[in-house]
Structure 1
Amino acid sequence: MKVKQHTIGKQVTISGVGLHTGVDANMTFLPAPPNHGYKFQRIDMEGAPIVDADVDNVVDVSRGTTIEQSGARVNTVEHVLAALVGLEIDNVLIQLDGPEPPIMDGSSIQFINILEEAGLKEQNALRRFFEVPESIHYRDSAREVEMAALPLDDYRVTVMVDYNSPVLGSQHASITDISQFKSEIASCRTFCFLHELEMLYKQNLIQGGDLNNAIVVVDRVVTDEELDGLAKMFNKPKVEVRKEGILNNVELRYKNEPARHKLLDVVGDLALVGRPLKGQILAARPGHAANVAFAKKLKRAMEKVGPSHIPHYDPKLPPVLDINQIGNILPHRYPFQLLDKIIYLDETVVAGVKNVTINEPFFMGHFPNNPVMPGVLQVEAMAQTGGILVLSTVDDPENYWTYFLGIESCKFRKMVLPGDTLVFKCELLSPIRRGIAKMKGEAYVGNTLVCEAVMTASIVRKEA
């Protein structure tokens, strides 16, 4: 799995009809900054409202997953989201000039293709995985649905379906690595049974349905009159079917294509949790309602891990900048280089790490019988973190100095002791003007805020 966050390299557009609304729409993928996540934007509506791809925004799960926010609704988002997860893209803005993404051929493969055409761009931020901490289960006895997430240092998905149908029977599908999504799952199309068609049509669904974008499973003998009615429904001169099989005798891409598509739906719906997942997902007879209910359960477990505004530090992951790269940017050296790693960096926010150990030189004289890290050095380490942010705004940071001009509202909330790992976050409060930067700095040990301050610094070019 990719370690750093990714967006796309350029803007790309794909067009087509929506499956359920039957409305033609243009869908444009745009690059987005780190920690942006997946967001839809209805540019056909006044004010171009944003709809976050969040499970708490789900408002309908009838034959697809629909999200709504600020009065703006986006239908059938799961195939698009599955493609983004399958390519391990973390941040993208998806603009729509209609209510529903194009259905294309009923799978995710054409979204995969257009996103690969845009190219992937690595970002200066580590992916913040939600690692399933313990077994999480969901069960819907009425629908005989069972889903589970088990701890695993990877993302694996297994799906089993059983439709009590002589055509489909019991099927299962699985991926053991998300990199398999493109080749094994992405091209698998949406499907329904013949007996569902009339009901869906009467509910004003599948208005954009076509035999080119959905598989219709025929599990009983069909009369000529019914076939004539289906031809009229799909605006076809004629439709055919064997005694039992697929309407219009469409060939399946895989013998278990329906099970693979259900896996695609699971991946897309679980994207609404809001962070990339690490865990083993097991799903028996899943559907959108169960997927969304399960995603909500995962999100509630995720929220217990810690507030999202606190930088997440995983020591197993490589840093954005290591100690040597930091030394190439900052002029500080031992014993005053107080920063060990940079774990996040974008245009306005930086996060860094300092491991506090008993062999720090200042512990020899600062409360030697009661070792506490001096508050002034906590501020200095936080300032060095901010210095990385400020110097990242110029092309040649080695030719600049950063000097602090002021510190305001500084507070020390808890003692920092040997063995603690300090995580710093600095965020610009306003754009840098005339070489002056003002930022809010925070220092955490775990989820506890230990120090904070508002700092002002200047950036000055070195004299030749």
Structure 2
Amino acid sequence: MKQRTLAQTVTATGVGLHSGERVSLTLHPAPVHYGIAFRRTDLTGEQGEIVKLHPHLINDTRLSSTVVTENGTRVGTIEHIMSALAAYGIDNVLIELDAPEIPIMDGSSLPFIFLLQEAGVVEQNAPKKFIRILKEIEVHDTGKWVKFSPHNGFKAALTIEFDHPVFNRSNPRFEIDFAKQSYIEEIARARTFGFMQEVELMRKHGLGLGGNLTNAIVIDETDVLNPDGLRYPDEFVRHKILDAIGDLYIVGYPIIGAFEGHKSGHAINNALLRAILADASSHEWVAFDENDDVPEAFWGIETVQAA
């Protein structure tokens, strides 16, 4: 299996969920071994330089995964676009934006899936690298935990827990094996969610300034406020899996293994990545000369022609 990039440059506009700022987003093809990188076109000097993504750059995890560099450059809420990049196995791309945050679009990764389909996805003349998990590695934090276990493929299972009547009507656990199920069908449409009673507190901390019923599921004391309701009966936990896939792809490579978590979030997902990278015995780097040798979970990641 070969590395992948975009067939052509593609642009979209939207609003930042937390900043509330209007943002123009442009995705560019990139050469082999380039990785995933960001550039703030509204900044100059060192702050406007290209930032190569790495798990150790995720230094703000308040309700999102946000890159914060040593010189103060911020790129916020990257998890949804990262989830879409993972779905299409994009290895090399430069993402430019003219604001501090990736646009929230409709609160899911589906608009980014459409954006990648518009750009087209092409293979490059270099082998694709994977991280294969060799032993179980787990991270705990006050009632939360996440772990990776050896598995010849990629699957994810999450359980959520909220003391609220809406969640009592929904299955709190979802498991998906990508050798058998489709990311686009089962995960991509699941939207982010939030509680009305938390909005005032969030906004005091400069968060949630762009949130509304068109880009998030909003929950009051008893019910979902969105007129059209939920897209999946268990949309909440599916969105948490969407987030986790994006958070884990911040490492820049597909992971061969089984991910599982209880009450996971951006901080603990990132801590798991750092734990894996810090333990050389937990993983190995692999590439496959023949596509038939690639685990079946990655077979569904097909190249697409530009629109």
Fold shared per TM-score above 0.5: yes
Name the counterpart of 1:232.
none
Measured after TM superposition, the shift of residue 104 of structure 1 is 0.5
Unaligned runs of 5+ in 2: 292-307
State the identity %. 38
Deviations along 1:339-389, whole A, 9 cap, x unmatched? xxxxxxxxxxxxxxxxxxxxxxxxxxxxxxxxxxxxxxxxxxxxxxxxxxx
Measured after TM superposition, the shift of residue 291 of structure 1 is 1.2
- Give the AA of the match of 1:147: V
- Give the AA of the match of 1:300: A
- Give the AA of the match of 1:92: V
Other structure's SS at 1:245 match: coil
- Measure the CA separation in 1 of the matches of 2:66 and 2:106: 19
- Give the AA of the match of 1:268: G
Residue of 202, 216, 224 corresponding to 1:214: 216
Name the counterpart of 2:206.
204
Name the counterpart of 1:233.
none
- Measure the CA separation in 1 of the matches of 2:280 and 2:157: 21
Measured after TM superposition, the shift of residue 302 of structure 1 is 5.3
- Measure the CA separation in 1 of the matches of 2:244 and 2:275: 14
- In structure 2, the CA distance between the partners of 1:302 and 1:128, relative to structure 1 (3 Å rule), is farther
Q: Where do 1:92-103 residues align within 5 Å?
A: 92-103=93-104
Higher relative contact order, structure no. (Cα contacts within 8 Å, ≥ 6 residues apart)? 2
- Measure the CA separation in 2 of the matches of 1:71 and 1:200: 22
Measured after TM superposition, the shift of residue 299 of structure 1 is 2.2
* Residue 192 of structure 2 corresponds to residue 175 of structure 1: no
* Residue 3 of structure 2 corresponds to residue 25 of structure 1: no
Name the counterpart of 2:290.
318
Contact 1:130 1:302 in 2 (8 A): no
- Measure the CA separation in 1 of the matches of 2:279 and 2:37: 22
Give the greater-gyration-radius structure (CA): 1
CA RMSD of aligned residues (A): 1.9
- Give the AA of the match of 1:146: W
Contact 2:134 2:281 in 1 (8 A): no
Residue of 259, 279, 285 corresponding to 1:281: 259
Measured after TM superposition, the shift of residue 249 of structure 1 is 3.6
- Give the AA of the match of 1:287: G
Name the counterpart of 1:147.
146
- In structure 2, the CA distance between the partners of 1:133 and 1:305, relative to structure 1 (3 Å rule), is closer
Name the counterpart of 1:257.
235
- In structure 2, the CA distance between the partners of 1:190 and 1:305, relative to structure 1 (3 Å rule), is closer
- In structure 2, the CA distance between the partners of 1:128 and 1:301, relative to structure 1 (3 Å rule), is farther
Other structure's SS at 1:295 match: helix
Q: Where do 1:38-187 residues align within 5 Å?
A: 38-47=36-45, 48-69=48-69, 70-140=71-141, 142=142, 144-169=143-168, 170-177=171-178, 180-187=182-189
TM superposition outliers: structure 1 runs of 4+ over 4 Å = 302-306
Measured after TM superposition, the shift of residue 318 of structure 1 is 2.4
Measured after TM superposition, the shift of residue 305 of structure 1 is 5.9
Other structure's SS at 1:168 match: helix
Residue of 2, 8, 14 corresponding to 1:10: 8
Deviations along 1:48-78, whole A, 9 cap, x unmatched? 3122221100111111111022431101111
Q: Where do 1:298-337 residues align within 5 Å?
A: 298-301=276-279, 314=287, 316-318=288-290
Measured after TM superposition, the shift of residue 88 of structure 1 is 1.2
Contact 1:13 1:28 in 2 (8 A): yes
Other structure's SS at 2:43 match: coil
Contact 1:50 1:72 in 2 (8 A): no
Contact 1:38 1:91 in 2 (8 A): yes
Other structure's SS at 2:165 match: coil
- TM-score norm. by structure 1 comes to 0.59
